[in-house]
């Protein structure tokens, strides 16, 4: 049972480039989410989804897009990378459709640097 799998683990981009961070879970969880973690700060919610075909914005959505075509996958797209998006990105899932009543299971993160 792999849990939450994120790819790639590391990525370096140039300003203005676009890319997609992949997230997949094999636990049939309804709720999936993307967070970013910056030094000295807690995790901040970027986007989340309560099921296939349904997505919504979190606290810091600007510059990111998401889609949820299947229960298993929740990719995060950076449209035009900026140095301020240098961060560690975590994907999480939860069996709880609301996302705040049961533990969320996290992947090991993607470390992204924007030059």
Partner 1 sequence: GESVGLHLPTLSVQEGDNSIINCAYSNSASDYFIWYKQESGKGPQFIIDIRSNMDKRQGQRVTVLLNKTVKHLSLQIAATQPGDSAVYFCAESGIRGSTLGRLYFGRGTQLTVWP
Calpha distance 64→8 (Å, rounded): 17
Site string for partner 1, 42-81 (x = CB under 8 A): xxxx--x---------x-----------------------
∠ CA 45-49-55 to the nearest 5 degrees?
Answer: 95
Task: State both tokens at 29.
Answer: 């969880």
Q: Which is nearer to partner 1, 7 or 80 (CB)?
A: 7
The tokens of 88 are what?
Answer: 């560690």
Nearest to partner 1 of 17, 22 (CB atom): 22
In the 8-state DSSP scheme, what is residue 109? -
Size of the site for partner 1 (CB under 8 A): 25
Binding site for partner 1 (CB under 8 A): 4, 33, 35, 40-45, 48, 58, 90, 92, 98-109
């Amino acid at each position: 049972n792999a849990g939450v799998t994120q790819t790639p683990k590391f990525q370096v981009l140039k300003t203005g480039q676009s890319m997609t961070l992949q997230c997949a879970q094999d636990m049939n969880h309804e709720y999936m989410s993307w967070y970013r973690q910056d030094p000295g700060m807690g995790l901040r919610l970027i986007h989340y989804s309560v099921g296939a075909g349904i997505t919504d914005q979190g606290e810091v959505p600007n510059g990111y897009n998401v889609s949820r075509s299947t229960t298993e996958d929740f990719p995060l797209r950076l449209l035009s990378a900026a140095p301020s998006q240098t961060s560690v990105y975590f994907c999480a899932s939860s069996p709880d459709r609301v996302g705040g009543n049961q533990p969320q299971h996290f992947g090991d993160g993607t470390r992204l640097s924007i030059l």
